[in-house]
């Protein structure tokens, strides 16, 4: 055990949304001075807690929002937004008694997201997140002899490149290459998607800074938008990821993308950290 004079105890909660798992810390009670180092150390699935990254929950510095989130990937890089994490934050805030609101305004680095909680008998069964409007860019990738079809770049507050293919399992081979392709100077999240016979969209994700993840909320939104843009699906889709299914609606009325899915507690724990952290 570390010297108690040099350490302090923090409490954390492990949660997941469709298998996309993060460590959540209420920094209103337990501030984290060095979240980059913490994310790298704690996310290690052999030597740490194990997760896709670290999420910090705090009060919003802006009156327009109720709370704020910061998210750090397993490699320590800070992400702009995470749809699965935002749903988990909604459940955390409500069920831990930090708010009694069933509509929460959450400040992220990509703007304020509205979380609509679906509550039954005091428990949050699912959350719908207004992910705002998608943004498109034309990105060309040059990968000779790789057999990669041209994809569609969609930003949902963070960058995604969606490729429709029968071979979604090539995510393991090609994800890292595409994430770091010169066409994406800030790196990119990569989705390999396949339209199934029942109309669902099977999608596998390589998440920027984390690698293959069980699910990605913004990636599901980007995939649904890309499918609608290319005429492969309508404006409402079920995105089937490794960890579960997310319902995505790209509404014509306001051009916003709405994501609905589950959020689950896994366990609570305590961690001793250096007081300088």
**pLDDT digit of tens for each residue in the chain (277 aa)?**
445 557 789 999 999 999 999 999 999 999 999 999 999 999 999 999 999 999 999 999 999 999 999 999 999 999 999 999 999 999 999 999 999 999 999 999 999 999 999 999 999 999 999 999 999 976 666 554 565 668 899 999 999 999 999 999 999 999 999 999 888 889 999 999 999 999 999 999 999 999 999 999 999 999 999 999 999 999 999 999 999 999 999 999 999 999 999 999 999 999 987 755 5
Catalytic sites, residue numbers: 82, 216
CB under 8 Å to 48, separation ≥6 — which residues? 41, 42
Return the closest-CA partner of residue 104 out of 128, 79, 123, 85: 128
Residue 2 belongs to a domain: no
Which 8-state DSSP code applies to residue 255?
-
Q: Are residues 142 and 246 in the same domain?
A: yes
247: its two tokens: 């319902």
Look at residue 238 and tell me if it is in a domain. yes
DSSP 179-204: HT-TT-TT--EEEEEEE-TTS-EEEE
Is there a domain that residue 123 lies in? yes
Residue 149 and residue 240 in one domain: yes
Task: Determine, yes or no, domain membership for 203.
Answer: yes
In angstroms, the CA 187 to CA 211 distance is 12
Same domain assignment for residues 96 and 153: no
Helix (H) or strand (E) holding 87: helix 83-95
pLDDT at 7: 78
Residues contacting 274, CB < 8 A, separation 6+: 2, 6, 7
CA distances in angstroms from 228 to 39, 135, 232, 271, listed in the order given:
35, 14, 6, 45
Same domain, 175 and 65: no
Q: Is residue 1 part of a domain?
A: no
Quick one: pLDDT at residue 138? 65
Identify any residues that bridge with 257 across adjacent strands, giving them in sequence order: 250
Range of the domain at 210: 135-255
Q: For residue 137, what pLDDT is reported?
A: 77
CATH number for 123? 3.10.310.10
213 & 235 share domain: yes
Task: Give yes or no for a contact between 42 and 48, defined as CB atoms under 8 angstroms apart.
Answer: yes
Residue identified by tokens 């327009």 is: 64
Q: Do both 173 and 223 map to the same domain? A: yes
Q: N- to C-terminal Cα distance for the chain? A: 17
Whole-angstrom distance, CA of residue 275 vs CA of residue 277: 5
> What's the pTM value of the predicted model, to 2 decimals?
0.90
Contacts 24+ apart (CB under 8 A), 147-150: 148/174, 148/178
Cβ burial, residue 30 (10 Å; 0-12/13-18/19+): middle
Supply the pLDDT for residue 150.
80
For the chain, the domain total comes to 2
Q: Are residues 206 and 152 in the same domain?
A: yes
Residue written as token pair 């994430």 = 179
Residue 150 lies in a domain: yes
Q: Are the CB atoms for 159 and 184 separated by under 8 Å? A: yes
12, 57: one domain: yes
Q: Does residue 241 form part of some domain?
A: yes
Same domain, 159 and 81: no
Q: Do 205 and 269 have their domain in common?
A: no
Q: Is residue 231 part of a domain?
A: yes
- Same domain for 115 and 82? yes
Is residue 159 domain-shared with residue 249, that is, in the same domain?
yes
């Amino acid at each position: 055990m570390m010297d108690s004079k040099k350490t302090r105890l923090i409490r954390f909660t492990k949660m997941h949304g469709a298998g996309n798992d993060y460590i959540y810390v209420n920094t209103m009670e337990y501030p984290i001075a060095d979240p980059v180092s913490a994310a790298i150390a704690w996310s290690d699935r052999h030597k740490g807690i194990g997760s896709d990254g670290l999420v910090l929950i705090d009060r919003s510095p802006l009156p327009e929002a109720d709370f704020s989130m910061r998210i750090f990937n397993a490699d320590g890089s800070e992400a702009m937004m995470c749809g699965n994490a935002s749903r988990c934050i909604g459940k955390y805030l409500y069920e831990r008694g930090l708010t009694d609101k069933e509509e929460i305004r959450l400040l992220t680095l990509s703007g304020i997201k509205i979380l609509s909680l679906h509550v039954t008998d005091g428990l949050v069964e699912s959350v719908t997140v207004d992910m705002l409007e998608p943004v498109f860019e034309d990105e060309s990738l040059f990968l000779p002899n790789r057999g990669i079809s041209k994809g569609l770049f969609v930003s949902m507050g963070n960058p995604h490149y969606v490729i429709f293919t029968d071979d979604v399992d090539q995510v393991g081979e090609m994800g890292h290459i595409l994430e770091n392709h010169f066409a994406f100077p800030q790196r990119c999240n990569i989705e390999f998607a396949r339209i199934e016979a029942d109309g669902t969209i099977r999608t596998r994700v390589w998440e920027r800074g984390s690698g293959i993840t069980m699910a990605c909320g913004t990636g599901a939104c980007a995939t649904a938008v890309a499918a609608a843009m290319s005429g492969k699906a309508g404006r409402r889709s079920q995105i089937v990821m490794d960890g579960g299914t997310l319902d995505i609606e790209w509404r014509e009325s306001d051009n916003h993308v709405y994501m609905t899915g589950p959020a689950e507690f896994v366990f609570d724990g305590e961690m001793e950290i250096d007081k300088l952290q």
